Amino acid sequence: MKLIVTFSRKAGKKPIIAQVVRDTGVLINVERAQIDSSEGEALIDIPDEACTVVKEGLSRLGASVRVLEDIISLDESRCIDCGACISICPQEVFSFDENWKLVVNGERCVLCGRCIEICPQRALSQKEEV
Amino acid sequence: MKISVMEKTIDLIRERIRDGNARVVTAEEMPVIVEELGEEGALREIDVVTTGTFGAMCSSGAFLNFGHADPPIRMERVWLNDVEAYGGIAAVDAYIGATQKSATREAHYGGAHVMEDFVSGKTVELRALSTGTDCYPRRTITTELLLENLNEATMVNPRNGYQRYNAATNSTDRTLSTYMGMLLPNCGNITFSGSGLLNPITNDPEFRLIGGGVPAFLCGAPGMVIGQGTQHSPAGGFGTLMVTADMKKMSQDFLRAATMTGYGVTLYVGLGIPLPVLDLETVRSTAVRDEDITVDIIDYGIPSRDRPSLRKVSYADLKSGCVELNGEEIRTSPLSSYRRAREVAFTLKAWVEEGKLDLVLPTRKIDTTIKAHPMRETAQGPRVLDIMDRRVFSIGQDEEIRSAAQKLLKGETNHLPVIDSSGKLVGIVTTYDISKAVVNPGKANRVKDIMKKRVITTTMEEPVDIAVRKLEKHNISALPVVDRELRVIGMLTAMNLGKLFGGRWLK
């Protein structure tokens, strides 16, 4: 599963992800990260069963963590099942079913935003955060 | 003894439709039917084959008649929701083209959106200007209109239903935004358009059944083929159709405005044509399979008209989701909707069965031999060699940063190409790079330590417009002009572009 980890760097450059990997033994895959001098945000992928322990570990080090679930939203009334999103997605989120209907496999998404940008019908958007 | 039927008349087929005995199938079903029944069996059994496609067709639009206002106006310039329509027809007629961009909302709204808004029952604001005449004294008008308020809204699409369309990829190292969608760098994806074996012309490539006067499904309305489309090129396998139908009968399910990011507005059109199965030749042509329809994969990274083909593929390959290119599996995706193309063919099948369309043979034949030719250009646009700066200041990569600074000052330039010992371009330094090196003195003391190694270049023969695109895309202000051996023979800077103004190129 995927988690969005946000942390402040004001307290110094603590290697919090590395710390959690060492403490928990869970192998964390960083899929996307944006870090500047004051704060950082990382999108990490971890095994489902390790969710609680990783979340706790990161929170203890001062990061805020939220689970990323089906973050891409498809407006079925706009989508025409053209498939323009399929080949540009780095995560293979989109595919056709046997009837050429577009299928969205949202849990693979790493929020790169490409599909939202290129959808000819403007049918894709990022779900509002709860 | 079975008598073999070698031909059926259109009257026989119409009679069967009237009697409710006609067997109508979609073009997708035909290959299997012919396999099972044989060609003669299929001819006996099947009366009509329906086709369908649903894709972006830029060359679309509609003639609109608004009725006369009081006092009357002869509209000279016309806007619908701020999208300009062509008003150079009669007083209250206009043609709204699908790709025309909104004057205020640019890429997000255009003629296609106006058409979709009309069809979906929304209000559209009409604004028009006139100089005023004795018979048409009014000079301005602004009013809100629904589709039902118009006398006529007749869609007339100059070029629809391409027989097939070449697939697209991009060999350059940057992402391209094209009418074929987003093309990732280094041939990272392939896009294609068209419904393959369901495409109307693909099922009648000799135009024996498709021609002027033949009924068609257009955006959910019963319409008609007018004749050959513009840029019709059947000799090369790229025939097109001009089609028409009443917009008031259209449905949003089969007419959709779309925005191709970085390109502009276009219209997704649903088009289908029913084909009466008259003879064995019709059976054979409608039994076409995706495997039989080949197109080229074109490299859109080359910014000229004659883009190179990287390989030939069939629609079966393209629809499989993956195509091999230079030893790598590249993902493909369509831009047209096969699902909706099927819906077009199914709807058309129901229409034929219900007798909603009157099947006829072409009253005007479509030419099958012509080939579209490129534009005749009587004047060549400016090329880089016309405006480039021929004084070249360059510097060796092993020289000191200080000498680079001196050269920049002496040349009164901001860009200094860096060359190796054989004179080949290997990098570029700018006044910015040097200032940075001065402010943050580190280990760097040679030009090669601070130069940018990835240099965007141009050539003498390159059209200035292409070079300008490079400057814009990379957010830079100069391009070294290189020859085949990568030797710098000039510089093109933003300053040189000034020569275009007031010079002979703008006359």
- What pLDDT is attached to residue B4? 57
- What pLDDT is attached to residue A128? 67
Question: B431-439 and B401-411 helices cross at what angle (nearest 10)?
Answer: 140
Condensed to tens digits (0 to 9), the pLDDT of residues B99-131 reads: 999 999 877 899 999 999 999 999 999 999 999
Residue with tokens 């280990």: B443
Would you say B183 and B300 are in contact if contact means Cβ atoms under 8 Å apart? Answer: yes
Determine the distance in angstroms separating the CA of B29 from the nearest CA of chain A, rounded to an integer.
Answer: 15
For residue A31, what pLDDT band results from cuts at 50, 70 and 90? Answer: confident
Residue A100 at interface with chain B, using a CB cutoff of 8 Å: yes
Average pLDDT of span B180-198: 95
CA distances from A118 to A89, B161, B262, B319 (A): 11, 24, 9, 20
Interface test with chain B among A75, A87, A98, by most B beta carbons within 10 Å: A87
Q: How far apart are CA B193 and CA B166, in angstroms?
A: 8
- What pLDDT is attached to residue A54? 87
**CB-based burial label for B69 (10 Å; 0-12, 13-18, 19+):** middle
The residue type found at B367 is D
DSSP 8-state symbol, A128:
P
Contact across the interface for B333 and A85, Cβ inside 8 Å: yes
Q: How far apart are CA A110 and CA B191, in angstroms?
A: 22
For residue B503, what pLDDT band results from cuts at 50, 70 and 90? Answer: low
Q: How far apart are CA B334 and CA A88, in angstroms?
A: 11
Of residues A1 and B24, more confidence is placed in: B24
Does residue A66 carry a pLDDT above 60? yes
Does residue B305 carry a pLDDT above 90? no
Where in B317-375 does DSSP place strands (E)? 322-325, 328-334
Average pLDDT of span A86-108: 93
Would you say B365 and B227 are in contact if contact means Cβ atoms under 8 Å apart? Answer: no
Does residue B1 carry a pLDDT above 50? no
- What pLDDT is attached to residue B354? 95
DSSP 8-state symbol, B286:
H
Which residues in chain A are contacts of B254 at CB distance < 8 A?
none
| Calculated CA dihedral for residues A70, A73, A74, A75, nearest 10 degrees | 140
State phi, psi for B265 to the nearest 5 degrees: -90, 145
DSSP 8-state symbol, B290:
G
Of residues B9 and B438, more confidence is placed in: B9
Domains of chain B: 13-57+156-354 (no CATH), 67-150 (no CATH), 384-501 (3.10.580.10)
CA distances from B342 to A51, B31, B54, B467 (A): 44, 15, 9, 44
Print burial letters for B219-239: b (CB count within 10 Å at least 16), e (below 16).
Answer: bbbbbbbbbbbeebbbeeebb
Determine the distance in angstroms separating the CA of B180 from the nearest CA of chain A, rounded to an integer.
Answer: 9
For residue B316, what pLDDT band results from cuts at 50, 70 and 90? Answer: very high
Would you say B298 and B179 are in contact if contact means Cβ atoms under 8 Å apart? Answer: no
- What pLDDT is attached to residue B507? 44
Q: How far apart are CA A68 and CA A49, in angstroms?
A: 15
Which residues in chain A are contacts of B180 at CB distance < 8 A?
none
Q: How far apart are CA A111 and CA A19, in angstroms?
A: 25
Average pLDDT of span B355-362: 94
Q: How far apart are CA A121 and CA A7, in angstroms?
A: 36
Which residues in chain B are contacts of A85 at CB distance < 8 A?
333
The residue type found at B222 is P
Q: Would you state the structure tokens that stand for residue A43, as one six-digit string?
A: 């999108």
Query: Is ipTM over 0.85?
Result: no
Question: A51-60 and A16-24 helices cross at what angle (nearest 10)?
Answer: 130
Contact across the interface for B335 and A84, Cβ inside 8 Å: yes
- What would the DSSP string read from start to end of B427-462? EEEEHHHHHHHHHS--S--BHHHHSBS----B-TTS
Q: Is B141 left (phi over 0), alpha (psi -120 to 50) or beta?
A: beta
**CB-based burial label for B454 (10 Å; 0-12, 13-18, 19+):** exposed
Q: Would you state the structure tokens that stand for residue B28, as one six-digit string?
A: 């997708």
Of residues B230 and A55, more confidence is placed in: B230
Of residues A60 and B284, more confidence is placed in: B284
Does residue B3 carry a pLDDT above 60? no
Contact across the interface for B336 and A82, Cβ inside 8 Å: yes
Active site residues per annotation of B? 135
**Closest Cα partner for B195 from B346, B53, B339?**
B53
Q: How far apart are CA B317 and CA B334, in angstroms?
A: 12
**Closest Cα partner for B188 from B169, B209, B164, B203?**
B169
Does residue B268 carry a pLDDT above 90? yes
- What pLDDT is attached to residue B232? 95
Does residue B8 carry a pLDDT above 70? yes
Q: How far apart are CA A45 and CA A28, in angstroms?
A: 6
Q: Is A81 left (phi over 0), alpha (psi -120 to 50) or beta?
A: left
Q: What is the CA radius of gyration of chain B?
A: 29
For residue B502, what pLDDT band results from cuts at 50, 70 and 90? Answer: low
Q: How far apart are CA B270 and CA B52, in angstroms?
A: 7
The structural domains of chain A, with segments of one domain joined by +, span 2-68, 72-126
Which segment of B282-286, B326-330, B411-415, B485-489 scores lowest on mean pLDDT?
A: B411-415
Q: How far apart are CA B68 and CA A109, in angstroms?
A: 55
Query: In chain A, which residue ranges form alpha helices assigned H by DSSP?
Result: 16-24, 51-60, 114-118
Task: Say if A2-68 and A72-126 have the same CATH topology.
Answer: yes
Which segment of B13-22, B186-195, B446-455 scores lowest on mean pLDDT?
A: B446-455
- What pLDDT is attached to residue B137? 95
Q: Is cis: bond before B71, omega within 30 of 0?
A: yes
- What pLDDT is attached to residue B10? 96
| Calculated CA dihedral for residues A23, A24, A28, A30, nearest 10 degrees | -40
DSSP 8-state symbol, B465:
H
For residue A130, what pLDDT band results from cuts at 50, 70 and 90? Answer: very low
Of residues B196 and A7, more confidence is placed in: B196
Determine the distance in angstroms separating the CA of A109 from the nearest CA of chain B, rounded to an integer.
Answer: 17
Which segment of A73-87, B49-63, B337-351, B470-484 scores lowest on mean pLDDT?
A: B470-484
- What pLDDT is attached to residue B442? 74
Region A72-126: CATH code: 3.30.70.20
State phi, psi for B278 to the nearest 5 degrees: -95, -35
Does residue B352 carry a pLDDT above 90? yes
Which residues in chain A are contacts of B331 at CB distance < 8 A?
86-87
Task: Please give the mean pLDDT across all residues of chain B.
Answer: 93
Does residue B207 carry a pLDDT above 60? yes
Does residue B287 carry a pLDDT above 70? yes
Print burial letters for B459-490: b (CB count within 10 Å at least 16), e (below 16).
Answer: beebbbeebbebbeeeebebbbbbeeebbbeb
Contact across the interface for B184 and A84, Cβ inside 8 Å: no
Condensed to tens digits (0 to 9), the pLDDT of residues B143-184 reads: 999 999 999 999 999 999 999 899 999 999 889 999 999 999
The nearest alpha carbon in chain B to A81 belongs to B337
Q: Does domain A2-68 have CATH number 1.10.8.80?
A: no
- What pLDDT is attached to residue A5? 87
The nearest alpha carbon in chain B to A123 belongs to B258
